[in-house]
């Protein structure tokens, strides 16, 4: 079949095929009454094969990754669930365990805890900024992303757990369904990580070992190196991601009842724990949530099935280099309402203090407990570093300028925008001067890169 396909590519003209066919089979000798139908069928088959190969070739040349354009599809979250997920046919707050099993993940080829670089997520676009979740389908192999920042993240988490404990890692033990969901997530991680990253994780009879950090996890007894811990805290030690699990109650709302949030930068688990999804967003003044996101987000949570995981990305700017908590907006330990916010940040700090913070979030439903898991992986690097990448400074400057007043306030633009945009414009001008062809950007970048 492959050789026939190659021949078609080389001789893909239907008229030419008819001539070759006539020469090869002595057309004038076979054009009898009996032979005509068979000859016509043969020609039709060849013509169809030509069309198939040409169409396939055309698709391969023009196709792009199957992701939405979140800056252009403002209603993305309102239609995603309806188009791709089944209606929820169950009473609110109930869940019948699903038989779904996550596909086995193939080993990440040539992955290295010292050499594998972080993925270069740059989830901002040219043109007007639209408020949207920007959901796209997740491939199961890519559920958890690890790279050569792992040990830095691991050490930061270890320190934060020692310093803050249950303020950052907590499971609502009063609800057996919630506790089971946290344990289920630990089981999923203990199964996935040795499959995907066998050079660092080894499956054991009790759970999983991290052979790089010399940590042994007993999933059944909820211990790490013999010490009993909250199941979400054990999960936190395994990944670079922050983690949160939402559970539906009888009122149809989803509540944050299990979490390991150690490196979030701008929010604290203790402030959001036990809140319903809507209040989490309104208490955080998420722009446009009530008008553009709430209805669709609630619809999505009701419909999402264990076999249909999704991804989204977002980004922020920060004017300090602290991954775990951005101290420029105030003290993490402040208990006074109104004391923490962008108003506390020093205005117009030098560009060396500007950092780019991007989150890659996965959402999936756990099949046994029915909890909806967020994994929140942060990518964190200096603006001066990403501005050296082709096309990035011009695109980011345009994105920052396009924020509406509510988004600009939420992202703190007033405190750093002047310095940031001036710097990005300068770097963009340098790239143009050295010959960068801006009209070719779409050929080399597809969202969210």
258: tokens are 């299990």
Helix %, strand %, coil % of the chain (to 5): 45, 15, 40
Looking at the fold, whether 142 and 182 belong to one and the same domain comes out as yes
Helices (H), 273-403: 277-283, 294-303, 383-386, 392-402
Residue 123 lies in a domain: yes
Looking at the fold, whether 217 and 85 belong to one and the same domain comes out as yes
pLDDT of residue 130: 79
Q: The pTM is what?
A: 0.80
Residue 144 lies in a domain: yes
Looking at the fold, whether 172 and 90 belong to one and the same domain comes out as yes
Residue 212 lies in a domain: yes
How far are the Cα atoms of 134, 202, 243, 308, 359 from residue 362, in angstroms, in the given order?
A: 12, 24, 10, 11, 10
pLDDT of residue 295: 79
Looking at the fold, whether 120 and 53 belong to one and the same domain comes out as no
Q: What is the DSSP-derived secondary structure letter of residue 167?
A: G
Residue 46 lies in a domain: yes
In contact, 371 and 248? CB cutoff 8 Å: no
Looking at the fold, whether 54 and 149 belong to one and the same domain comes out as no
Averaged pLDDT, groups of 10, the chain, 449 residues long = 45 45 41 49 55 46 34 46 60 94 97 97 89 88 98 98 96 96 98 98 98 98 98 98 97 96 96 92 75 78 94 96 96 90 96 98 97 98 98 97 94 97 98 94 89
How far are the Cα atoms of 84, 99, 109, 111, 286 from residue 106, in angstroms, in the given order?
A: 26, 21, 8, 12, 38
Looking at the fold, whether 37 and 178 belong to one and the same domain comes out as no
Looking at the fold, whether 35 and 166 belong to one and the same domain comes out as no
Looking at the fold, whether 40 and 86 belong to one and the same domain comes out as no
Residue 131 lies in a domain: yes
Residue 298 lies in a domain: yes
How far are the Cα atoms of 175, 426, 438, 439 from residue 432, in angstroms, in the given order?
A: 59, 10, 8, 11
User: What residues make up the domain containing 93?
Assistant: 76-344+360-375
pLDDT of residue 44: 56
How far are the Cα atoms of 139, 192, 361 from residue 308, in angstroms, in the given order?
A: 9, 17, 14
Strand stretches in 333-410, DSSP E: 355-365, 372-382
Instruction: Tell me the DSSP string of 383-435.
Output: HHHHTTSTTHHHHHHHHHHH--HHHHHHHTHHHHHHHHHHHHHHHHHHHHHTT
Asked which of 62, 87, 113 is the last residue of a domain, the reply is: 62
pLDDT of residue 38: 55
Count the neighbouring beta carbons within 10 Å of the beta carbon of residue 211: 13
Residue 258 lies in a domain: yes
pLDDT of residue 48: 56
Count the neighbouring beta carbons within 10 Å of the beta carbon of residue 151: 13
Looking at the fold, whether 115 and 46 belong to one and the same domain comes out as no
Looking at the fold, whether 33 and 154 belong to one and the same domain comes out as no
Looking at the fold, whether 182 and 266 belong to one and the same domain comes out as yes
pLDDT of residue 94: 93
Looking at the fold, whether 52 and 173 belong to one and the same domain comes out as no
Residue 326 lies in a domain: yes
pLDDT of residue 70: 36
pLDDT of residue 427: 98
pLDDT of residue 282: 77
The number of domains in the chain is 2
**Angle between helix 176-196 and helix 231-238 axes, rounded to 10 deg:** 20
């Amino acid at each position: 079949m492959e050789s026939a396909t190659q021949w078609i590519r080389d001789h893909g003209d239907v008229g030419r095929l008819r001539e070759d066919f006539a020469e090869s089979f002595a057309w004038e000798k076979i054009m009898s009454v009996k032979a005509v139908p068979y000859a016509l069928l043969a020609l039709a088959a060849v013509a169809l094969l030509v069309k198939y190969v040409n169409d396939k070739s055309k698709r391969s040349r023009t196709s792009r990754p199957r992701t939405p354009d979140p800056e252009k599809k403002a209603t993305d979250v309102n239609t995603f669930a309806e188009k791709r997920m089944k209606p929820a046919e169950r009473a609110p707050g109930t869940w019948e365990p699903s038989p779904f099993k996550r596909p086995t993940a193939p080993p990440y080829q040539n992955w290295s805890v010292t050499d594998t670089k972080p993925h270069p997520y740059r989830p901002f676009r040219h043109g007007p900024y639209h408020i949207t979740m920007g959901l796209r389908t997740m491939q199961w192999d890519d559920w958890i992303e690890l790279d050569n920042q792992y040990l830095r993240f691991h050490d930061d988490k270890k320190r934060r757990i020692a310093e803050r404990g249950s303020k950052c890692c907590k499971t609502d033990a009063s609800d057996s369904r919630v506790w089971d969901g946290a344990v289920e997530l630990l089981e999923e991680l203990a199964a996935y990580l040795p499959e995907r990253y066998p050079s660092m994780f080894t499956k054991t009879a009790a759970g999983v070992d991290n052979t790089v950090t010399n940590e042994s996890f007993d999933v059944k007894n909820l211990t790490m190196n013999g010490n009993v811990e909250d199941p979400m805290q054990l999960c936190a030690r395994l990944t670079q991601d922050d983690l949160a699990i939402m559970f539906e109650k009888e009122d149809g709302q989803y509540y944050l009842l299990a979490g390991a949030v150690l490196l979030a930068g701008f929010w604290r688990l203790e402030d959001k724990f036990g809140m319903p999804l809507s209040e989490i967003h309104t208490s955080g003044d998420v722009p446009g949530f009530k008008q553009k996101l709430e209805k669709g987000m609630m619809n999505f949570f009701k419909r999402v099935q264990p076999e249909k995981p999704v991804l989204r990305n977002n980004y922020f700017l920060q004017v300090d280099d602290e991954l775990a908590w951005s101290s420029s907006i105030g003290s993490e330990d402040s208990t006074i309402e109104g004391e923490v916010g962008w108003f506390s940040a020093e205005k117009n700090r030098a560009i060396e203090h500007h950092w780019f913070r991007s989150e890659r979030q996965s959402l999936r439903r756990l099949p046994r407990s029915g909890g909806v898991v967020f994994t929140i992986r942060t990518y964190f690097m200096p603006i001066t570093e990403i501005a050296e990448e082709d096309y990035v400074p011009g695109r980011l400057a345009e994105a920052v300028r396009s924020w509406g007043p509510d988004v600009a306030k939420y992202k703190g633009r007033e405190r750093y925008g002047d310095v940031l945009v001036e710097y990005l414009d300068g770097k963009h001008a340098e790239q143009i001067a050295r010959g960068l062809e801006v009209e070719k950007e779409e050929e080399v970048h597809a969202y969210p890169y």
